[in-house]
Structures are given as C-alpha cells and as structure tokens.
Amino acid sequence: MDRRQPPQTDEGWYVLHDFRSIDWDGWRDAPEHRRSRALAEGVDYLTAATELADAEEGDSAVFSVLGHKADLLVLHLRPTLADLDTLERRFEQTALAEFTERADSYLSVTEVSGYMSQEYFEEDGEIEDTGTKRYIESRLQPEIPDSEFVSFYPMDKRRGPEDNWYDLPFDERAEHLSAHGDIGRDYAGRVTQIISGSVGLDDFEWGVTLFADDPTDVKELLTEMRFDPSSSRFAEFGRFLSARRFPPANLRAFLAGEPVPQESTDPHGGHSHGSHGHGQSRDHHRDHGGDSGGHHGHDADSPHGDESGDTGDDDSVRSELDELGVYAGQPHGEDVHAVVLYSAADSDELFEEVEGLRTNFDHYDTHLKTAVYEPQESDSAAETAVVSLWETDRAANTAAGFLADLPDIVRQAGDDEDDSWGTMGMFYTVEPEHRSDFLGVFDDAESILADMDGHRKTDLLANREDENDMFIASRWDSREDAMQFFRSDAFADAVEFGRDILADRPRHVFLA
C-alpha cells in the first residue's frame, strides 16, 4: 500500500479568533455606573492586548463584526497556548464580559511547510536565500495588517470518493498550490492573508484570515480562486465572518451605535491600530501583515497565494524610516514610488542580501526595479545606495520595511538629520556610446557645485549590474541652496545635453 508523503511543517504563533455577541438589551437597561465600569475595563483590556502588555511578542486587534453571527471580534496572536489561555480568562474578569457571550471562536497556529521550501526542513536547516528567510519568519510570526476590512473562514481539503486531496502525490499537490499562489500574487498590495493550521486544534484544518481596505478586493480574489482546481475540486469551506477594524479607544462609540472611526489617539498614551508596539521583538516596518516578499501559496496546503501587506500609518512608518535615513515616497509628479537607502556594508555582501529580497519582490506585479548602486572608484568615501521602485505607495512602504533590515544602514554623509537638504537623481540611463561623455559632464558639474554656497557633497553611483544606469545623490545646507542650482544655467545646459545621450528621462527626488 502506497503511503502519501505529508508536508513537513514548522509552527510559529498560536492564533485565537474570539467572536463575542453583545447583550444589547442588558446593555441598554444597565445603570450608567455599570456601563461606565464595563467601558473602562473593556478599553483597558483591549488596549493592553494590542500594546502587548502581557507578552514580548505577538499581536492583537479589535473588529466590529458585520451581520448576525457576532458583534465583536478580538484577534490574538501569541507565542504559546498559555498566553492565549490567560488572555481569554483575563477578559472574563472584566465588567465588559458580563454583557457578552461567546458566539464563536477558532484556535489555530501559524505554519510553514515543505511545499514552500524543502531546503528549510533539511538536516542543517540553513537557507541561503535572505528573502526566503524573511518570508518564513513573516509567516511564522506575522503582524496583523492595518487594513479596515477582515474576512475569516475555516477550510478543509476535500476527502471525497472522487476528489481526495490526500490521495494526490506530493509533487502534484505542490503544483496545485503553486498555480493557486500565482492568482494570489496578482492581488499583492490589495489583499493580505494570515494562514494558520488547525488540524487537531479545531473543527477544520486551516483558518484563513484575509485583510483589505476594499472588501470587493477580497470578493474578487475569492471568486477568481473558486475557479482554480485547488478550490473547485479540493476545497471545503466553513462559514465566513466579516468585520471592520477599530481602535480600542473607540469602544464607547461602538457600543453607542455611533460611526466607528478607523483612527484615533489612544487615551493610554499609545496610538491607533497604525502602531502595534512590536519594537521589543521585531522590526515594526515589516509590512503590517508580514507577508510581503515571499513565495506565496506553497505553505501547508495553504488555500491562497499570499499578498503584500498593508502599509499602516504612512506618516508613522515614514517617520521611523527617516530616522534610519531611508526614503520611501513618490518622486514629485511621477507615477512611481521609490525606496532609497544607503549602506556602509561590503558591497558584495549587500548585493547578495538585496538579490534575495529582489527575487521575492519580483513575484509582485507592482515591483518595477530594485538595484544596488556603487560609488565610482574615484569616490571611495561615498556610500552604496539601494534603490527600489514600485507602482504603488503601499507596496513601496512594505518593501521599505524589509529593505530597512539590510546590513549597516547609514545616513548619507553630509546629512546631519536636522540640518540638511537632500536630492536624488534617478533614471540616468546613459546610451552606452555616450557614457564617457556623461562622466565628463558630471565632472564639470561637480566642479561648479564645489564652488556653490550651501553645497556639501554630490556622489555619482552606478548600477552594479548595468554601468550605464546612474544614480546621483547630493546634500545641501538648505532647500533654497539646492533650488538655486536647479534654477541655474549650468543645470539647464546639463538637461539639454541629457536629451541626446540618456535612454530615459531622469527623475529627481527632493528630501525635506
């Protein structure tokens, strides 16, 4: 008798979907002092959970459930079952619990499997691909995306007399999941998922939690996937529950039947769900949702291809990135979004890390380009730059979180953080026969810059993989100093010269 090969799995954090129904009659009839106490203790409990007051790692979020199946969803991810057990019992000690009943719940655990990476499960367990390492970590220890809408459902793989998933050979199962994942990748930046296994933990085999800002993106994704054999032939689904996210501080508005805003300032000194306080354990920038940059759709009979996560609070993310000297934004007037950072790491080491990330970025249609730009031999003091270009702001911010983890990220020389103005010139793609002409013009411009008031430094860097693709970075004392140069006849002459020798139109980024 042939025995089918099960996928090897590795487990991460435990996941609890805790669905609660509100006793609305009891809430309306309760005296004000009981409701005030319930609100205060409810906000305290939910805020403490989302700020990880009980643990060093994990995540929690609160949602208003739509429809009749429940009223409130509290989603917890924690490293151990004991953590979840404590959170459950701690809620029951609050005065808010007196007005709720558990409508449903689901227990599961995040996982990766041999469908995604056989290499991960080999004896030494070493993976050389940096992007794969990051992806595995993000699957085992995900962050809850900041998207407004969430859809949760459990699912099984079919074990019928005609279509039995578990009778298929391993390679055939892996092929199905790969094709299924290709669909999911088309929704990168629009839908993010957390897949968690529940064999032996709950009634189904997996829990699927999908996050999006637009609910119709989830509908469109699932509709398309229904026609893929991995779903049409081999999937069985439980019931779906949909909800909208809100900060714990808005619990009063939720219970009062008022519109629940997406963002607010936390009365306990924290922030809305745009910031989860993960700084103790993991890089906060990692794409709220933790799914970006991976081989999506190959995990543990995973039902969908995963997608790039939400960006969260853009201002907060950009502020944190700026502290590292990482630019993530849109060049003025352009239809692309750029991430630019500098590193003092060995160029070969940096390129290897970037290549691993780029391999995974290429899974997304929103990814345009990621490259390492090295200083010219004559400018050994310049830092190496990494430039990543994306079609959407969300995708760029998600990528920035991963790129910010690259080794030896530094601020550009001449950037005093509080007292400088930066400019970056991208897309200086020179026609090969005119490369020496371009270098000559740059040398002339550099001489002019050296005599200008307010100019600190200008570096010319070349794409490690294409010497004709140039990147120019400058530092100035002030914005006005920089603009004085860009208004000058010398710059106008350089622009006119570039029309004849550049293969693409250059873009400039001005950094406040």
- For residues 414-433, average pLDDT: 77
Alpha-carbon distances of 425 from 219, 393, 474, 507, rounded to whole Å: 41, 19, 9, 6
166 in catalytic set:
no
Among 291, 284, 367, CA closest to 319: 284
Residue 54 lies in a domain: yes
Could you tell me the pTM of the whole model? Answer: 0.57
248 and 323 housed in the same domain:
no
Amino acid at 411: R
Residue 486 lies in a domain: yes
Residue 105 lies in a domain: yes
* In 248-375, alpha helices (H): 251-255, 314-323, 347-361
DSSP secondary structure letter of residue 114: T
Residue labelled with tokens 């309306």: 28
- For residues 134-143, average pLDDT: 82
Amino acid at 325: G
**Residue 357 sits in a domain of what CATH number?**
3.30.70.100
Which residues neighbour 354 within 8 Å (Cβ) at sequence distance 6 or greater?
370, 371, 372, 386, 403, 406
The pLDDT score that the predictor gives to residue 116 is 64
66 and 175 housed in the same domain:
yes
- For residues 282-304, average pLDDT: 36
Alpha-carbon distances of 416 from 293, 315, 411, rounded to whole Å: 32, 21, 8
How many other C-beta atoms can be found within 10 angstroms of the C-beta atom of residue 9? 17
Residue 260 lies in a domain: no
Collapsed DSSP state (helix, strand, coil) of residue 331:
coil
The pLDDT score that the predictor gives to residue 267 is 32
Among 43, 76, 39, 72, CA closest to 61: 76
445 and 373 housed in the same domain:
yes
127 and 25 housed in the same domain:
yes
232 and 333 housed in the same domain:
no
Amino acid at 471: F
Domain boundary among 255, 272, 301: 255
**Exposure string (b/e) for 108-135, b if CB count within 10 Å is 16 or more?**
bbbbbbbbbbeebeeeeeebebbbbebb
Residue 246 lies in a domain: yes
Domain boundary among 228, 255, 282: 255
How many other C-beta atoms can be found within 10 angstroms of the C-beta atom of residue 242? 18
**Per-residue pLDDT tens digits for 222-263:** 998 888 887 888 888 999 999 999 999 999 999 999 988 655
Distance CA 86, CA 84 (A): 5
Distance CA 253, CA 274 (A): 19
At 156, list the tokens: 């099984």
Distance CA 297, CA 17 (A): 22
Look at the chain and report how many structural domains it folds into: 2
Of 90 and 504, the one with more pLDDT: 90
Domain that holds residue 433: 314-511
Question: Catalytic residue among 153, 327, 342, 364, which?
Answer: 153
236 and 334 housed in the same domain:
no
Domain boundary among 231, 255, 279: 255
Collapsed DSSP state (helix, strand, coil) of residue 395:
helix
The pLDDT score that the predictor gives to residue 378 is 58
228 and 322 housed in the same domain:
no
DSSP secondary structure letter of residue 270: -
Residue 300 lies in a domain: no
26 and 142 housed in the same domain:
yes
Residue 319: pLDDT band (50, 70, 90) is: low
At 191, list the tokens: 């839908």
Centroid of chain to Cα 217: 17
Residue 458 lies in a domain: yes
